Amino acid sequence: MRAAVIALLGASLVLGLGVVRGAPEDDQRAFQDFYKQRFPDTPFEDFANGLYSIDKSRREEWEQMEEFPPYEFDIDAGEELFHEPFANGKSYADCFPDYESGVRQNYPHWDPERGEVVTMEWAINLCRERHGEKPLKYYRGPLAQISAYLAYLSRGHVIDVKVPDDDSGALAAYEEGKKHYYARRGQLNFACASCHVDAVGRLLRAELIGPAVGQVSHFPVFRKTWREITTLHRSYAACSRQLRAASFGPQSREYRNLEYFHSYMSNGIPLNGPGSRH
């Protein structure tokens, strides 16, 4: 099964021969079936808990940490920031009118008018710019807190990312994200899939590698090692540095398309962000 999923999803990586496109729904089915068979005792929805869905001892430590979640203050700060009016009297609520019932599940999505993928964090800054405000920094701080507040209001909603099969731009963005996930890079010559598909459930040094499916469901994340709430794209950049590879900028086209593919692979997983991780 591991060979099958890598062969299917790695079909776009045939160097020098152009991109071979597979149907996204076939990719998703193979991807999710791999984890279901690799961890048959884990209910599919529980992959929302990442590494803690496959390791009992680490789950117990995490559950103790969640009794007094370290991101609580960030949710409160995000709520205050969300309702703080802009200079023109408007607020984020004018950009996200359905925020109380949850909007995080709508991101990332393909925007046919812009011709690119729009993520939650980018949408927050697009809202600010639309109302004459300066954009916020992407990795941490107020933007991560606002995103955490919106994630909290969206808990329980199921990831349901769409890749329109009649839009060549959306398919191209998906394929670019897929290629990024399976492309080896850096001095260590590793891909995202080298760890989270091929080595999932194994120890790399002292690190137990968690599954890719459901990984996006709990962001933004408070990491004990960073001592702050942080965004998915910061984690992408950190992984690139660990591979001794050049990273892309936050909310770059490359990372937005990677998030598009990454999230589509987790369709059907409930959102449970913000989360806490070691």
Which residues are catalytic, by number?
239
Going by C-alpha positions, the residue among 92, 160, 175 that lies closest to residue 126 is 92
Which SS3 state, helix, strand or coil, does residue 131 take? Answer: coil
- Residue 252 zone, left/alpha/beta (φ > 0; ψ -120 to 50; rest): beta
End-to-end CA gap in the chain: 30
Which ranges constitute the DSSP H helices of the chain? 2-9, 24-38, 56-67, 72-83, 120-130, 142-153, 168-182, 192-193, 232-242, 253-264
